[in-house]
């Protein structure tokens, strides 16, 4: 069966509470992007690969009940068991969730972002090629840079 294409839906995250479970490079990168769109991001993890700007870090493991009160959740730990528990909790609470290690469990994909000022493009290959989506986003950024330069 062919992978379904996901509809690109742009949402206002300004002031919304977002939880990211997992303090590795993937989780922190996603936390930083979400923070850049005005979300109030909390990363929950027993360890962190860095310190992103504008993101709250809680140094502890996931506990059942942690997802309550968040508008959006990212499960990006290095444990399939923990990520699955986060997904199940979010489903029970009606919270959109993205599991970095299980595309079939995602309510949404985390796109490659091309952003220049108020122009924002999100690119996904519907989980068929992260490299392809990243390359397309890079080319869109270059195009946006050229457009910006032409307007100066």
pLDDT tens, position by position, 41-54: 999 999 999 998 99
Q: pLDDT over 70 for what percent of the chain?
A: 94
Residue 85 lies in a domain: yes
pLDDT tops 80 at residue 5 = no
Do 84 and 22 share a structural domain? Answer: yes
Mean pLDDT in the chain? Answer: 90
Do 22 and 80 share a structural domain? Answer: yes
Do 89 and 30 share a structural domain? Answer: yes
Do 101 and 67 share a structural domain? Answer: yes
pLDDT tops 60 at residue 111 = yes
Comparing 112 with 97, the larger pLDDT belongs to 97
- The CATH number assigned to the domain holding 43 equals 3.40.50.720
Do 44 and 80 share a structural domain? Answer: yes
Domain that holds residue 80: 17-105
Comparing 117 with 76, the larger pLDDT belongs to 76
- Residue 149 has a CB neighbour count (10 Å cut-off) of 8
Comparing 28 with 131, the larger pLDDT belongs to 28
pLDDT tops 60 at residue 148 = yes
Query: How many structural domains compose the chain?
Result: 2
Residue 6 lies in a domain: no
Comparing 1 with 146, the larger pLDDT belongs to 146
| Burial group, residue 28, by CB count within 10 angstroms (0-12, 13-18, 19+) | buried
Dihedral of the CA atoms 137, 138, 142, 148 (nearest 10)? 50
Do 98 and 38 share a structural domain? Answer: yes
Q: What's the rounded mean pLDDT across residues 77-92?
A: 98
Do 135 and 95 share a structural domain? Answer: no
Do 127 and 100 share a structural domain? Answer: no
């Amino acid at each position: 069966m062919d992978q379904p294409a996901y509809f690109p839906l742009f949402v206002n995250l300004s002031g919304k509470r977002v939880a990211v479970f997992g303090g590795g490079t993937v989780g922190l990168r996603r936390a930083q992007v979400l923070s850049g769109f005005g979300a109030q991001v909390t990363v929950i993890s027993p360890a962190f690969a860095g310190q992103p700007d504008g993101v709250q870090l809680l140094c502890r493991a996931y506990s059942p009940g942690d997802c309550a009160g968040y508008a959006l959740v990212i499960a990006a730990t290095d444990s399939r068991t923990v990520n699955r528990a986060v997904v199940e909790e979010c489903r029970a609470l009606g919270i959109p969730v993205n599991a970095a290690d299980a595309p079939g469990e995602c309510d949404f994909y985390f796109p490659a972002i091309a952003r220049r000022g108020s122009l924002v493009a999100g690119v996904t290959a519907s989980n068929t090629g992260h490299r392809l989506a990243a390359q397309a986003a890079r080319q869109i950024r270059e195009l946006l840079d050229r457009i910006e330069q032409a307007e100066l």
